[in-house]
Chains A and B, each alone.
Chain A
């Protein structure tokens, strides 16, 4: 007898008319776009974490992935490893609702750009998702 698949859902996701938070970027008609699912909100939160440096948030200097600081120091062979470590560490602290499955870092030294793609799974529902952030 097959074992039924159990899926957990955040109660807020069951009420489609309740906004969870605001999404990035702020480009809505009144600056903000509301999110109506925890999955969308976590995506915005993850982007927010990756784009924030430590020390930028008032009264919360430890918040942020500190990626820009690493990139500012120039791209080396160790850069990818450093970035991965920073992402794993800080996501574990500030967004414990997800589990990172994979991090792909594509460096383009000629154009001084780095593209980071993070594949992750929502812990509560097991839904997979991914985001890509590009630093120029």
Chain B
């Protein structure tokens, strides 16, 4: 071939034509000589060039479609994004927080009227709400009015209180489909052809076995939640644990936004532990060879066990959520209808009062439902897939661990603040020696956490929450990392300030504005562990208030309570921690908090 001097660098029509003419001139000088434009033979050279051009185009396209950055066809982008760990979405649900109200009768307790929680209802999760424009919403958490925390109580009339709780809701409705199965088949696949599918809610077979969705079939465990028996004392509703699930499936959106579901390959009725690989059975199912040194031993492919999950052998009913999209975004105060058919009384109350209470339940969304939009577009898939590839669902940096800890679902406890640093004990070690290296893991990290109490004040977290966090983080932790989960310290402070005001301003108005801006500045949501107070920033806040002429005095005082009930039990030497206009937190990770802003911030107006 190469002896004929073929040029392999041609790509376009013109290049092919020139080279074909040159080739004909070189190798067929007695067969063809007329290369003028009008020559009929030229037409055939041009046709060959045309074929070459088309093939070059397809070759370029095929190569291009293999790279995420250049792929244009949606099917290829979907495949590439799944390969990199990103799951494209067919629709995004609008999210809002709704207020749910119920009337509850008085009960006389020691001469005092209190709510009679015998008539408190439970609004289960997935309760249907409807907006004025008929968009369906679902509550995503159970609302239990028997739980008195986070409940607003208002006197309605002489006989009833109003209880108010909040719950998040998403624009979605539940649909279901039954997929027929009989004889188990490896990797059975089915497709749900519906529009705006959000996710699968649950799947159950004819024997009432629950099937679990996993990110990939080789993942044999899912997070499971069990009720926390010490919930009343530590306020952690559920304990997180890993559950092994042989009945599992994966789902993936196709480019036409339908949802494909694939079940496992296990058609054996034997349990995995009976197929534990041993030197006697390890070669079963493998292609015979002289040496096993280079064989890829994979339990799943060797035995077709439950390693990739079971294949279903009876009909599977799948409930899934549809909804979302731009039209799902709803104005405030428009979600006003609630389906009460699933609401129940845990006390089994069943009388006329119970009926009256049930009919009294109303709902409203004080904030608009937002975030609803259509599914991922091509460029969104491309960029999200690149991001997913970088993160790999693994915690590598300190920030990864912090974000992962904060993302712990609220059912398993409430983490307010997280700070991750190198193991402090290791840092304080003297020059490393062989002995000390053996003693401590050089990759160990200290994760300091704090939670909120029911009044949104910082508090240390319960051991159950820490245990949940351990279980959760462990799934994303690098095997060589070690995490020590510890309580951070919170330092309670108060502020006393003196200001001079300009003439013509009302003293009370200015002082209220000053206190208000300091409350906002020290809002605990805006503060992090180990964040210093920059005194000049606080002064600037005060000076930004209209009417303030100058800040005469600005004093930060430590608030401490040895019992730890009203304030932190740990005192702090604020003057000693003040350096060059900054108040630094302690070496042990800590955070400043104004615990009671209404009383801990005090201001005066002085005459100058």
Interface of A toward B, CB cutoff 8 Å = 12, 17-24, 26, 32, 34-35, 38, 41, 44-46, 48-49, 57-60, 63, 94-95
Contact = CB atoms under 8 A, between A and B. Distances in A.
A63 B46 CA distance: 13
B34 A48 contact: no
B39 A21 contact: yes
B30 A95 contact: no
A19 B30 contact: yes
Contact of B38 (A26, A45, A59): A45
B110 interface: no
B13 A45 contact: no
Contacts of A48: 38-40, 43
A102 B39 CA distance: 22
Given A12-B33, A17-B30, A59-B14, A22 B50 contact: no
B426 to A, nearest CB: 71
Contacts of A59: 13-14, 17, 46
B387 interface: no
B31 A45 contact: no
A17 B50 CA distance: 31
A19 B32 contact: yes
B46 A22 contact: no
Nearest to B29: A18
B144 to A, nearest CB: 74
Nearest to A91: B38
Sorted nearest first, the 8 A-B pairs with minimum C-beta distance are: A21-B34, A45-B38, A22-B41, A94-B38, A21-B41, A48-B40, A49-B38, A18-B30
Interface string B1-29: 00000000000011001000000000001
17 contacts: A19-B32, A21-B34, A21-B40, A22-B41, A23-B40, A24-B40, A41-B39, A45-B36, A45-B38, A48-B43, A49-B38, A57-B43, A58-B13, A58-B50, A63-B38, A94-B36, A95-B36
A113 B33 CA distance: 35
Interface in B46-98: 46, 50
A46 B38 CA distance: 7
B37 interface: yes
A60 B38 CA distance: 11
B30 A60 contact: no
Contacts of B34: 20-21, 35, 38, 41, 45
Contacts of B30: 17-19
Contacts of B37: 60, 63, 94
Contacts of B46: 57-60
Given A58-B13, A58-B50, A59-B14, A19 B39 contact: no
B45 to A, nearest CB: 11
A48 B30 CA distance: 22
Nearest to A50: B38
A18 B25 CA distance: 12
A120 to B, nearest CB: 13
B38 A19 contact: no
A45 B50 contact: no
Given A17-B30, A19-B33, A34-B31, A95 B38 contact: yes
A19 B31 contact: yes
Contacts of B17: 59
A89 B232 CA distance: 99
A60 B45 CA distance: 13
Nearest to A60: B37
Contacts of B38: 45-46, 48-49, 63, 94-95
Nearest to A22: B41
Contact of B33 (A18, A44, A49, A95): A18
A21 B50 contact: no
A59 B32 CA distance: 22
B11 to A, nearest CB: 14
A44 B41 CA distance: 10
Contacts of B13: 58-59
Interface hub of B13, B17, B43 (most chain A Cβ within 10 A): B43
A133 B34 CA distance: 22
A41 B39 CA distance: 8
A82 B43 CA distance: 27
Contacts of A12: 33
A41 B38 CA distance: 10
Contacts of A18: 29-30, 33
Contacts of A45: 34, 36, 38-40
A132 to B, nearest CB: 18
A45 B39 CA distance: 5
B33 A20 contact: yes
A20 B30 CA distance: 8
Nearest to A12: B33
A38 B38 CA distance: 13
B267 to A, nearest CB: 56
Contacts of B36: 45, 94-95
A51 to B, nearest CB: 10
Which of A17, A22, A35, A49 has the largest number of chain B CB atoms within 10 A?
A: A22
A79 B224 CA distance: 87
B452 to A, nearest CB: 72
A45 B33 CA distance: 13
Given A48-B38, A48-B40, A21 B14 contact: no
A36 to B, nearest CB: 10
A44 B40 contact: yes
A94 B38 CA distance: 6
Nearest to B33: A20
Nearest to A97: B36
Q: Which of B13, B29, B34 has the most chain A CB atoms inside 10 A of its CB?
A: B34
Contacts of B32: 19-22
Q: Which of B34, B39, B40, B43 has the most CB of A within 10 A?
A: B40
Given A38-B34, A95-B36, 6 more contacts: A21-B34, A24-B40, A41-B39, A45-B40, A57-B46, A58-B13
Contacts of B39: 21-22, 41, 44-45, 48
A46 B41 CA distance: 13
Contacts of A34: 31
Contacts of A26: 40
Nearest to B50: A58
Nearest to A21: B34
